[in-house]
């Protein structure tokens, strides 16, 4: 299992007239969580794309437990529970400044070769970076 | 059961560098689907808020079946399968110009009294508008 | 001179906690205004891109005269005051349901050949569609 | 004169199908620039709102000098050139990782008392924080 945390400051751009972070804007937080989780492993999503593999989202789920408010410094906790094969799943917990869990989410992504737009499996260098966290 | 369809033109603002509609932007399409479904019943979400009840999102799920592209005229098909009580669930299918299903989704919303921020049940006038579609 | 109007319904996604349309979201309205203005002329921005020319934004200016609110049906009035050469300028007026002007804006775009990423001039078929509106 | 710099990582959510940061998304960068500039002075925009004064945007101008790309770590340089009275103007320069200026902008905001929705002047505590930077 691999766990990574980063922070995100809520901006006016993220809020709606309820005064909450708009439900569609959590997708941005999840994106930040998973990309920074990979970067902390020494793996760059951008370089993977340059090398010809992209990761479109296949499924996304969110549960909204409590509102997140303007200017809060949220913690995005991202967990990878299994080594990816054809798919890669990221789990998220979003915590506010009082350590309260405001949102949980889960995104499943697939690997696509850009040259032929076909599904592929996780790149070897991604697996190499992740493996140490999944050995017994 | 109540079914409603409306259309949505994909804008540059919706796309990402993959050339797809960014996964977080489907939340906007779902919002349009459910608000226009209610409007077609003669029920205004805005007026409900003015009367003191709001509907924050409790859960959201999306499956991304195929990419949606810039300038496509998408069809948003919104379905209400059951009369709401404490919660209201909307189901969506997003179809592209070739009638291909590109995305399916599901949003669960709750009813909150704005004066005390407490959960409540579906307003009577909403139920009155919906009832004819759920009678045997 | 060429003038075109279209409408836009304000969504929750567009609002911020002030209860106003967030200032950055007018860019989307301007995009809708200019693309629909061109479409009404029989000119497709998308097809121009497919043919190898794109139009990145060079300059954008907005003045916020009054707030626009959730669920308002805004009118986007787009004006082309001169035939484009190296640049194309669009002017916008955003009106609310009471015909009050809530926002004015102006976007300057340039033409870029995608094959070499170089500046070019307005495509001939765009000029052909616009010319009738600029003859004496 | 007061100058502040902060950084911003470009996300997929910010890009469009041209592979550039969408022109409307610079408004978010400007917001981050000015709020963090004020925070660095010990002034919280959020607390000002809690105390009953908000700052809607009156005017916004952007010039797009070069594209900004996915995953770039941009520098947002925010400058306050004059003490605010009825209005407050922020100037921005957005630099990419090669120190190239990709965008310049300027936002004028006004002060509004939330209790009566009327224009007011800059709060005293904001002026107190800024004054040291504008003395001869």
Q: What is the mean pLDDT of residues B24-31?
A: 98
> In this predicted structure, what is the pLDDT of residue D135?
78
**Rounded Cα distance, D17 and D31, in Å:** 24
Q: Do C115 and C40 meet the contact criterion of CB atoms below 8 Å apart?
A: no
Which residues of chain A does D28 touch, with a Cβ-Cβ cutoff of 8 Å?
Answer: 11, 13
**Rounded Cα distance, A84 and A82, in Å:** 6
> In this predicted structure, what is the pLDDT of residue D136?
64
> In this predicted structure, what is the pLDDT of residue A31?
98
- Phi, psi at C74, each rounded to 5°: -85, 150
Which residues of chain D does A46 touch, with a Cβ-Cβ cutoff of 8 Å?
Answer: 70-71
Name the DSSP class of A52. Answer: T
Give the count of beta carbons closer than 10 Å to the beta carbon of residue B77: 18
Cα–Cα nearest to B60, from A26, A102, A11: A26
CB atoms B61 and A61 under 8 Å: yes
CB atoms A71 and D44 under 8 Å: yes
Spatial neighbors of D5 by CB under 8 A, at least 6 apart, are D75, D76, D77, D78
D12: nearest CB among A12, A31, A44: A31
Token pair recorded at residue A16: 């709606």
CA distance B21 to chain C (A): 14
Write out the DSSP string of C35-56. Answer: HHHHHHTT--HHHHHHTTEE--
What pLDDT band is residue C136 in, cutting at 50, 70 and 90?
low
* Residue for token pair 């902060």: D6
Residue C17 has pLDDT above 90, yes or no: yes
CB pairs under 8 A between A and B: 56
> In this predicted structure, what is the pLDDT of residue A35?
98
CA distance C86 to chain B (A): 22
CB atoms C24 and D25 under 8 Å: yes
B59: nearest CB among A24, A31, A62: A62
CB atoms B61 and A64 under 8 Å: no
CA distance D48 to chain C (A): 13
- Extract the runs of DSSP E, i.e. beta strands, from D22-120: 53-54, 57-64, 73-80, 87-95, 101-113, 118-120
CB atoms A25 and B22 under 8 Å: no
Given the DSSP bridges, would you call strands C101-113 and C87-95 parallel, antiparallel or unpaired? antiparallel
Give the gyration radius of chain B's Cα atoms. Answer: 16
* Residue for token pair 């102006």: C106
**Rounded Cα distance, D29 and D11, in Å:** 12
Chain B's closest residue to A29, CA to CA, is: B24
- In chain C, the percentage of residues whose pLDDT exceeds 90 is 99
Which residues of chain D does C61 touch, with a Cβ-Cβ cutoff of 8 Å?
Answer: 59-62
**Rounded Cα distance, B25 and D16, in Å:** 12
> Could you give the dihedral angle defined by the CA atoms of residues A10, D69, D27 and B14, in that order, rounded to the nearest 10 degrees?
-80
Spatial neighbors of D136 by CB under 8 A, at least 6 apart, are none
Residues A51-107: tens digit of each pLDDT = 999 999 999 999 999 999 999 999 999 999 999 999 999 999 999 999 999 999 999
**Rounded Cα distance, D124 and D134, in Å:** 15
Q: What is the mean pLDDT of residues B31-41?
A: 98
> In this predicted structure, what is the pLDDT of residue B77?
98
Q: Which helix (H) or strand (E) holds C29?
A: helix C26-40
Residues C47-89: tens digit of each pLDDT = 999 999 999 999 999 999 999 999 999 999 999 999 999 999 9
Task: Report yes or no on whether pTM surpasses 0.95.
Answer: yes
> In this predicted structure, what is the pLDDT of residue B136?
64
A13: nearest CB among D9, D28, D44: D28
Token pair recorded at residue A114: 């850009």
Chain B's closest residue to D16, CA to CA, is: B16
A22: nearest CB among C12, C18, C24: C12
CB pairs under 8 A between C and D: 57
Name the DSSP class of D58. Answer: E
Cα–Cα nearest to C55, from C45, C47, C44: C45
Q: Do D14 and D22 meet the contact criterion of CB atoms below 8 Å apart?
A: yes
**Rounded Cα distance, D68 and D20, in Å:** 6
> In this predicted structure, what is the pLDDT of residue A136?
63
Chain D's closest residue to B68, CA to CA, is: D17
Positive or negative: CA dihedral A21, A22, A26, A31? negative
Q: Please report, for chain B, how many H helices and E strands are present, in that order.
A: 3, 7
Alpha-helical runs (H) found in chain A: 26-40, 45-50, 124-130
Residue C124 has pLDDT above 70, yes or no: yes
Q: What is the mean pLDDT of residues B47-75?
A: 97
Token pair recorded at residue D98: 């090669």
* Residue for token pair 């967030």: C22
Residue B67 has pLDDT above 90, yes or no: yes
D15: nearest CB among B16, B24, B70: B16
> In this predicted structure, what is the pLDDT of residue B135?
78
- Alpha carbon of residue B4 to chain centroid: 10
Q: Do A76 and A17 meet the contact criterion of CB atoms below 8 Å apart?
A: no
Give the count of beta carbons closer than 10 Å to the beta carbon of residue B42: 9
Query: Residue B115 — left, alpha, or beta (φ > 0 → left; ψ -120 to 50 → alpha)?
Result: alpha
Which residues of chain C does A16 touch, with a Cβ-Cβ cutoff of 8 Å?
Answer: 12-13, 15-17
Those residues of chain D that have pLDDT short of 50 are none
> In this predicted structure, what is the pLDDT of residue A85?
96
């Amino acid at each position: 299992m691999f766990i990574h945390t980063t922070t995100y400051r809520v901006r006016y751009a993220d809020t709606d007239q309820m005064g909450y972070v708009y439900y569609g804007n959590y997708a941005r937080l999840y994106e930040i969580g998973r990309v920074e989780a990979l970067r902390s492993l020494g793996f760059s999503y951008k370089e993977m794309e340059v090398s010809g593999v992209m990761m479109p989202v296949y499924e996304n789920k969110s549960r909204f437990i409590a509102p997140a408010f303007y200017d809060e410094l949220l913690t995005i906790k991202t967990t990878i529970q299994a080594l990816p094969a054809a798919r890669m799943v990221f789990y998220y917990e979003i915590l506010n400044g009082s350590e309260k869990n405001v949102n949980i989410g889960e995104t499943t992504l697939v690997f696509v070769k850009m040259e032929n737009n076909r599904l592929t499996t996780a790149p070897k260098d991604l697996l190499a970076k992740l493996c140490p966290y999944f050995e017994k």
